[in-house]
Amino acid sequence: MDAATQAPANTGHPRRWAILGVLVISLLVVVLDNTVLNVAMRTIADPVHGLGASQSELEWSINSYTLVFAGLLFTAGILADRLGRRITLTVGLVLFGIASLVSAYADTPDQLIWARALMGLGAAAVMPSTLSIIANVFDPRERAKAIGVWAGAVGLGVAIGPIVGGLLLEHYWWGSVFLINVPIVVLGVVLVNVLIPESRDPRPGRIDFVGVALSIIGLTLLTYGVIEGGESGFGQLQSSGTLLASAVVLAAFVLYERRVEFPSLDVRLFANRQFSASTAMIGLVFFAAMGAMFTSAFYLQLVRGYGPLASGALFVPFALGQLVFAPRSAAMVKRFGPKAVSTTGLLLVAAGLAGWIFIGESTPIWVVGALFFVMGVGMANVMPPATEAIMAALPREKAGVGSAVSNTIRQVGGALGVAALGAVISSYYRSGVESSTTGLPAAAKHVADESISGAYGVAAQAGPAGQALIQHANDAFITAMHYSAIGSAVFAVLGAAVAFVWLPGKRPATAPVPSTAESLAEEQGVELVDV
């Protein structure tokens, strides 16, 4: 074969596939833990078998992790580029392991909340490091396939977390859902330092202290405002005021980054329509999907009466859809183009979410599993091409920043989805159940009106009248769930519209596939500078 027609040499690391396996292990422990906790909530609230945590304390045991994680993701990506991705990943895993050990043996809800915040700090260092290492050890021609495997691992963690949690809670005490992280972290730290080469930005420039501080403050305020809005309502000053402050700080961040010589994030990248569309798609699909999955957990465990293990098993089809189709998304994009693949994926997610509009108290449970599978297949064809587009818009030495952008958008989108759709559920549930709680004492009525979990707790103390209250609560919750499903599906359709309008179609067979910031910038007419 003529040398001119030979394919360029593969620039990937010789051990890149083994490295990917190690990164998947590191990623799984973080994603899995975030879903394991959901099935342990009722046990942790038990004063005998758990910590006797109140509803507010339970919420903050989840939210403290989310707040720190989302607030520091971007900063962790910057530090990984500057200090080294392997050392950042190692430190993150160690912090996560220590915090898991403290969480497992917490004696009070407050101790658990602070330990979970430390876990969020460790996770913020782990998540962007895994994706940025992929960008550095894989040739651009293989990177999309590797990111597909990475995205499949995220889906696997989301699905197997409730199963692992259910198994542990059936045989051990509540702390075991955290303790299981420790041996996985130890194995991960060893493998990371044996197999993964160190990489960093060779020309980092000066540290953008002001930009870093503004990003931490802005993202923390945004996440807190979303959390508070989900708990107390977005009309309350504590939520709306915080969200307004976050908008001001993040706007200041953008303006500052446009003017500084060495910005943490070159915001001119957002002038690239493929980069902007991909980040919007990730935010919208996680807004829709995470809100729906949060709702489905209550439906399965309360309305349908499934235990933690059985309800967790119903998430397996979601993981299966991602595991099977995510690694194949790169080939689909090559054949049909990112516009067709991403639009189809988002429409599948919308179809899976819209199916919940027709779910009732006695719907055959296989229908629920089928809807989860459709959602998994859809997300498998959204996340890999969107993530690859974001990573391709930056040179390898800036991979940590690209990874941080992707993961920050996903985390904030998911938190917004849980908060906003949770508020929809609360509003419609409350209006539907109030007529059946008028005869209850004031304190009991307040608890029953707040959530379906509260209604079940009140019903357990109400004797023969409890069954009627449960039926009314179930009916009100299912109606609220239907309205939430409509909202979720609308946001997924909006994401499909973004993909259809702004993502490129199939490229001619002879056209080179852009894989660097420079080629994408040239395509969109954007001038990029080394940051």
Is-contact 377 348, C-beta < 8 A? yes
Three-state DSSP string of 293-314: HHHHHHHHHHHCCCCHHHHHHC
pLDDT of residue 449: 78
pLDDT tens for 384-442 read 888 777 777 666 666 656 666 777 787 778 777 877 787 788 778 888 888 888 777 88
Q: Which two tokens stand for residue 431?
A: 């209006």
Is-contact 475 333, C-beta < 8 A? no
At residue 387, what is the residue type? T
At residue 270, what is the residue type? F
d(CA 477, CA 487) in angstroms, rounded, equals 15
pLDDT at 326 over 60: yes
pLDDT at 244 over 90: yes
Q: What is the mean pLDDT of the chain?
A: 80
**% of the chain at pLDDT higher than 90:** 18
pLDDT tens for 445-497 read 877 877 777 788 788 777 777 788 888 888 989 999 999 999 999 999 999 99
pLDDT tens for 119-159 read 989 988 888 788 788 878 888 778 778 887 877 777 677 76
Q: Name the pTM for this structure.
A: 0.77
More confident residue, 247 or 163: 247
Q: Which two tokens stand for residue 337?
A: 């183009």
d(CA 192, CA 198) in angstroms, rounded, equals 10
The band of 53, judged by pLDDT with boundaries at 50, 70 and 90, is confident
pLDDT at 24 over 60: yes
Average pLDDT over residues 251-276: 82
Neighbours of 205 (CB within 10 A): 13
The band of 245, judged by pLDDT with boundaries at 50, 70 and 90, is very high
d(CA 411, CA 519) in angstroms, rounded, equals 29
DSSP 27-51: HHHHHHHHHHHHHHHHHHH-TTTS-
